[in-house]
Chains A and B, each alone.
Chain A
Amino acid sequence: MSARHWIALVVAQWRDQPLRLLVTLLALAAGVALASAVYFVNAGALGEFDRATRRLVGESELVLRGPPRTGFPESLFATLARLPEVEVASPVLELEVALAARDGTPGEGRVAPLRIVGLDPFRAGTLQPQLFAEIADGFLRLFEADGIFLSESAAGRLGVAKGDRFEILVGTEARSLRVLGLLSSDAYPQPLGLMDIASAQWLLGQVGRLNRIDLRLARGVDPVRFRTALAPRLPPGVQAIEPQVERERAVSATRAYRVNLNMLALVSLLTGAFLVFATQSLSVLRRRRSLALLRALGVTRGQLRNLLFGEGLALGATGSLLGVLLGHLLAAAVLERLRGDLGGGQLSISDTALAPQPLAALAFFLIGTVVAGAGAWLPAREAADRAPAAALKAGDAEVALAPLQAAWPGVALLCGGALLALLPPLGGMPVAGYASVALLLFGGVLLVPRLAGALLARLPRSGFVSLDTGLAQLRGGVGQFTVSLAAIIVSFSLMVAMAIMVHSFRDSFERWLGDILPADVQLRAAQGSDTASIDAAEQAAIRSLPGIERAEFRRLLPIYLDPERAAVTLIARDLPAAPSAEALPLLRRAGAAAAGSPAATLPPLWMSEAMGDLYGWAPGQLVTLPIGNTARRFRIAGTYRDYGRSSGSVIVTRDDYLRSGGDALATEGSLWLRGGGTSAAAAIAAVRGALPRPEALELLETTQVRELSLRIFDRAFLLTYALEAVAVVIGLLGVAFAASSTALARRAEFGMLRHIGLLRRQVLAMIGAEGLLTSLIGVGFGLVLGGVLSLVLVYVINRQSFSWSVELAVPWLQLAVMSAALLVAAAATAVVSGRAAMGPAALRAVREDW
């Protein structure tokens, strides 16, 4: 058989069924598109992020970092600069600086903080070769105390040009800066401002402090050995980190998020593969006699197998090509809209351009094609192995699907999936969890024929002709019908699992918000900035307002505990040593320390769940924290939940924090209002009236904060919702396709039924009943399987990816609506395709059979 003949055969078969072709192509394309889009977006954002960080760290071999907000004394710089091993020491003060609202309106409309890097250009210039070319124009003016160079992206964000002024917030005080010039986005792609180190120290209220020192070592000095020797001589909380470790750390902050999306995308690709399997299986069954005829005409077994397998591959290749193109378009749109951080908020790059990635695109194309080929392999082999004489007879279809009836592969896969769910994460990633999802999914689907058969056998007769005929049909053709079910079950169960997971997370998140925001009014100094704060006098002024019953203030500051990990947030809160469950809801509480033991005298510390996962901390343990460059011992008194910070947080009482040498500044607060008519709005107005610079504070009613947080949550899960929508579409496409293909395959049967006297209406009712029953079983299986998968998602994958626990909550209404939609769609498509299949061709089909 020549290639021309082969193509003619394939094209003829597809021309016959253009809708089915389109559906299968779209399903495959959707899976490939999603998977590749997630990859393209991440690779684009990460590549850009990496380039930006590289530019900033330059050629340094070691970076010393202290707690970003409090830093370390600058004397460390002089000490290091004198070491013979050190060639260049470049002092840096790097802070996220809050911007004063331009029009003075508080709260809403505030611009995100600006990262200001204060450096010594003479020293930094030796490590960042691009620096001098960028600031050569206006170099000497850099020493003016209010001068700053802005990267083009920062200037764009602030809406300022060279020579303009803008205001930043330090404490609650606004300070004015003048733009000396712009740094090209080639040299500094990220939004940032460069200042002289002396001006930065003065203007940002950090005289005498640094929080970073970049080092280049003398020739022949080994960075690792030097780092190890240096570590014990550094003040507590200061870490020497190799730049590549630091970059990896920044990148790994988003890894959990990325891997989750990638895995979900790959799962949708697998759904596509199931669809191919279903398509090919049914198409082979439908054509079994024409294929047998081909064999009888001299086509060899191998040729036939290759023909059928080639069909699948061609389908896969077309769909994958479409998918990769779609994925690229999707990624470009996402980068444009979400600025490349996939809604995770961890990476922020201004101008992330989507670079073409031919290798990755090829990989996704191949994955899609291979997956489609795999789906076509089994049916192709089956059809080729059949003896032509047997296949030419009617009723042979069921025999072809007999292997699918065995129960053991499904059971084995389910058991394997269950076991995998118990395994710990691999390299911080829930790899076993995803494998578990895949095994459970396959196992569940493989068990469908057996279980469906058993179920159908037990259904009683109803007495309605159409319904009973339909049931009998299904009983007789369990194999065919389960193949069409497989795609529905796969997509629907994934849809269910994701719906349950997201709902559970949202539900837990909402309850957590209620727990951490018990007061009436919340206030904070510009969020995410290192410089905005509320000083002790302002705190006292707020406390003494008549409408305020109680005020709690908090100091949040990032600290480094491990050079390989992201900063942990230290929260100093106005709390008693033994807070009530209402003030600080705990998941676990440590037992009391033995009276008289040294541990009993240590101040308490509460940790978020992530601290256990990342640092191995446990309640009752004694730990050391760097506070104000001294090491302090604490006893872990309990564990709390923190959905806000996946890299971990700890709470200490503010009294202990102050006793340990911490400052009296606060960055956040909660206000409880006196009963008896003080409205939140009135209290907010009163607070504003009591402060010298109220616009520096964000004041919001607690209900507003909750709404805002949930909105942010929903935005973060935008892509997950998108995946869910795609799963729904694939599911519905599966239903439509399965209905139409079975209906077409059964033209002869419909003709026979009409021959023996069934009315057209009755046959249609029968087809509808069959469709309904099919999808009912599909929905039932999907719900059960999806429920099981959601357990793995909630308790294994989510827990291991984000280091926080979520309580299961089932979105019953949502599931009901989804199920109903699927049922209606299935019944409707069955009737529509049945009607199409019952034209005059049906009668001819009966004749063909004789």
Chain B
Amino acid sequence: MNPVRGLPGLRAVWLCGLALLSATGTAAATEPPPAAARAGHAPYADVLPGSDLEFPRDHGSHDAFRTEWWYVTGWLRTAGGEELGFQVTFFRTRPDIDTRNPSAFTPRQLIIGHAALSDPARGRLWKAQQIDRAGFGLAEAATGDTRLRLGRWRLERRGQRYDTTVQAEEFGFTLQLDRSQPPMLNGDRGFSQKGPAPLSASHYYSVPQLRVRGQIERGGRREAVTGEAWLDHEWSSAYLDAQASGWDWIGINLEGGGALMAFRIRDAAGQTRWAAGSLRQPDGRQRSFGPRDIEFRPGRRWRSPRTGVEYPVEFRVRAGELELALQPLMDDQESDTRGSTGAIYWEGAVRAFDAQAGGRRTLMGRGYLELTGYGTPLILP
């Protein structure tokens, strides 16, 4: 079953979901009747500090929270030496509905899938998305361990590895991601603050340095690939506050086994409203950064010919003493949903160079950069 395939309207739905994810704080703040007060509407769980993560339980879904995602990004190499970026994401979101409805179709959870291949040789971003309500065994975000299913798409944890399958109209991949390191808990033991307000936070861990092998398919042609990837798992009920208008995020697998995650939340003026990050050395020592330790300095801009939106596709990111210069695998890694919700974002593979090495381009690592909120402000549901 592949309920959603490349229809323009469906992107709207997906972005409605995405908008929901990004706008939870705003939505919660502006809705006049408190959700819990309405008959049959269950309140969302709050993200509170001091609740330790526990595995494998926290690999699974946290249905009480409003939104959750499993975000896999990485770099692939074909036998012929071609380099590609890939990402596959499963979102779970719980609509604020009357849960007394006994119907098996009741959308207690919505599962949204998004997958893309960045293909610089063809200058093309292959992308696909799906959405379905959980139920009937057709779409599912299991509790207890990572087991996600959306039609024929899968992401599943089996011991030290993840298996993922994506089948879209024009492309697909089946990848095996082997864990080489334990999960990296972001923020304070997995409690990740997203803004000045105490409730604006998420539970958040990353699994960097995943070893990838498997097959990709483009336009009916299959090829074996290898590479490395990064998995983010994050859940929250109030992600952004009302003043936030977007974020910049990176997850970089550093050469030699280290890992850097950093993000900043921007306000309407484009200024940093909040920032944080995690840096883990190959030996496992980890440092968590607060707003003062993280700096995102935008560099070269690229204007999308389709949407007219301008993105800083190159960045200098400072995390503590580490300073990286980010270069995109290709400029056009934009997802355009204008004409439906108006939400446009950039999500792409980047190389990280040593920014302090002067003119010498020393590769420090590879990873993904995500830029949201650069187009017209998201239309919130």
Contacts and interface: CB of A to CB of B under 8 A. Distances in A.
B7 A88 contact: no
Nearest to A91: B105
Nearest to A141: B381
A785 interface: no
A45 B13 CA distance: 35
B1 interface: yes
Contacts of A144: 97-98
A201 interface: yes
B103 A207 contact: yes
Given A89-B1, A123-B132, A198 B9 contact: no
Given A77-B136, A81-B1, A145 B10 contact: no
Nearest to A218: B2
Interface stretch (A95-103, A132-140, A287-295, A822-830): A132-140
A123 B381 contact: no
A238 interface: no
A589 B101 CA distance: 50
Contacts, number: 104
A78 B138 contact: yes
Given A78-B137, A81-B136, A136-B341, A123 B13 contact: no
A202 B105 CA distance: 10
B13 A122 contact: yes
Contacts of A201: 103, 105
A367 B97 CA distance: 63
Nearest to B5: A126
A139 B103 contact: no
A194 to B, nearest CB: 14
Contact of B2 (A87, A143, A198, A199): A87
A500 interface: no
B102 A132 contact: no
Interface residues of A, number: 34
Interface string B105-120: 1110000000000000
A796 to B, nearest CB: 51
B132 A143 contact: no
A533 to B, nearest CB: 20
Contacts of A131: 9
Tell me the dominant secondary structure on chain A's binding face: helix
Contact of A132 (B1, B13, B381): B13
Interface in A45-86: 74, 77-78, 81-82, 86
B101 A129 contact: no
Contact of A202 (B10, B103, B137): B103
Which bucket holds chain B's interface residue count?
20 to 34
A125 B105 contact: no
A139 B1 contact: no
B12 interface: yes
A144 B105 CA distance: 13
A242 interface: no
A197 interface: yes
A143 B107 contact: yes
Nearest to B104: A74
Most chain B CB neighbours (cut-off 10 Å) among A77, A91, A199:
A199
A121 B102 contact: no
Contact of A207 (B102, B132, B133): B102
A78 B16 CA distance: 26
Contacts of A528: none
A228 to B, nearest CB: 22
B252 interface: no
B130 to A, nearest CB: 8
Contact of A198 (B1, B5, B106, B381): B106
A126 B10 contact: yes
Given A74-B104, A78-B136, A143-B97, 17 more contacts: A74-B105, A77-B136, A81-B1, A81-B138, A91-B105, A120-B105, A122-B10, A131-B9, A136-B340, A139-B13, A143-B95, A145-B97, A198-B104, A198-B105, A199-B101, A202-B106, A207-B103
Interface of A: 74, 77-78, 81-82, 86-89, 91, 120-123, 125-126, 129, 131-133, 136, 139-140, 143-145, 196-199, 201-202, 207-208
13 contacts: A82-B1, A86-B1, A88-B1, A123-B3, A125-B7, A125-B9, A126-B10, A132-B13, A197-B103, A198-B101, A198-B104, A198-B105, A199-B101
Top 4 A-B residue pairs of the complex, sorted by shortest distance between their CB atoms: A132-B9, A198-B105, A78-B136, A198-B103
